[in-house]
Amino acid sequence: MIEPGTKAPGFTLYNQDGEEVSLSDFAGRKVMLVFYPADFSDVCTDQLSVYQEVLGEIERKGVQLLGVSVDSAATHRAFREKLGLEFPLLADFHPKGEMSAAYGAYLDSIGITNRSLVLIDEQGVVQWVHESPTLNDIPGANLIFDALEEVDAG
């Protein structure tokens, strides 16, 4: 995984609507990258549904949540609609996993993104990371709030 204190690698990926989204679009805001293995899997469905439940709290803390997996923009659109997600899902589809690999979240041996969280501050510096020990371990929303408190406390 990428180390805290590292300048976050820039990226431009397509969202669920086929629009380009770049890290630079969020300059001056905190960003939480939510890397997850696959749309429509049971564990990913549970994980992103939990984040949707607390999205308002996350946004009130000035954080933009961005989901990232190697699925296509069209798959993201269907998954987002099915779950009623209101945060963007970004397609690290082609070249497959390139952005995720830059953050240390791509599992090349199985061709999917590992379940990981990366908090980037307003200056584009990685402040906090979490890598789940297995693909079935969901990082709870409490981890996001604990990370935000820790980073805000300095």
Question: What is the distance between the alpha carbons of residues 95 and 45, in angstroms, rounded to a whole number?
Answer: 24
Question: What is the distance between the alpha carbons of residues 34 and 48, in angstroms, rounded to a whole number?
Answer: 9
Residue 109's Cβ-side half-sphere holds a number of Cα atoms within 13 Å equal to 1
Sign of the torsion angle spanned by Cα atoms 85, 90, 94, 100:
negative
The active-site residue out of 33, 44, 91, 148 is 44
Question: What is the distance between the alpha carbons of residues 150 and 107, in angstroms, rounded to a whole number?
Answer: 28
> Is 94 labeled as catalytic in the residue annotation?
no
Residues catalogued as catalytic = 44
